[in-house]
Amino acid sequence: MASSLCGIISVSVSYPLDMIRVRMAYITPESGARAERVRVVARMIYQEQAHRFGLFNFFRGFPLSLVGIIPYAGVSFLTHEYLTSLARGRFAAVAAMPADAQQAQVHRRRRKKPELRAWAELTAGGLSGLFAQTASYPFELVRRRMQIAGAHSPSARVSAVQIARSVWEQAGVRGFFVGLTIGYVKIVPMFAVSFYTYEKLKALFDLD
């Protein structure tokens, strides 16, 4: 619950910036023309007529992001905790640091959890990202399409249900996972390094 709440707060703060980023990536400049600047794209989004208040245009698909962040953040932390506890228990002989290396520091540390080898930490983090990305990807796909909908019809308000129905009619279940493998290329190493750094900082500051 705590991890999901943290994810909701972070998404709420950064969503307008993500909206601008997606639009900038979607808008392809003509040959020889300069790419649109952030200020120009932000003005374009603000002036769309889909909502009465222009600021609301920066939050197209935002409710869906709140729904999607629950499996994304929740699954990632839950999977990481499960895999690291498994590594410290059943597979401690190969995944945990040697006992003599930990004994050298025990006199000055209060941390009870044994440290894991680097490959074990990276593997647990990478698999956590893989499962989290898989669980939340259908929400992300629909949200992206809602974000770029304004580029096609600035005055139209497209709902998540409409887009989901369109995806289902065109490709069925597989349509909700188009591009997932590319997402793995980004998410798996990112989560591996993030959780590895997270665990090493906890060890550095002697936190369980």
For residue range 144-170, list pLDDT tens digits in order.
888 888 777 777 778 889 999 999 999
The predicted pLDDT at position 56 comes to 86
The predicted pLDDT at position 50 comes to 75
Q: Tell whether the model's pLDDT for residue 12 goes beyond 70.
A: yes
Query: What single string gives the DSSP state of each residue in 27-75?
Result: -PPPTTPPPPPHHHHHHHHHT-SSSSSGGGGGGTTHHHHHHHHHHHHHH
At 192, the pLDDT band (50, 70, 90 cuts) reads: very high
At 1, the pLDDT band (50, 70, 90 cuts) reads: low
Contacts of 168 by beta carbon, 8 Å cutoff, 6+ apart = 175, 176
Least confident piece of the model among 20-24, 50-54, 129-133: 50-54
Work out the average pLDDT over 175-194. 94
Q: Tell whether the model's pLDDT for residue 184 goes beyond 90.
A: yes
Residue type, 69: I
CA pair distance 186, 118, nearest whole angstrom: 20
The predicted pLDDT at position 29 comes to 61
At 74, the pLDDT band (50, 70, 90 cuts) reads: confident
Work out the average pLDDT over 3-14. 75
| Tokens, residue 54 | 């222009």
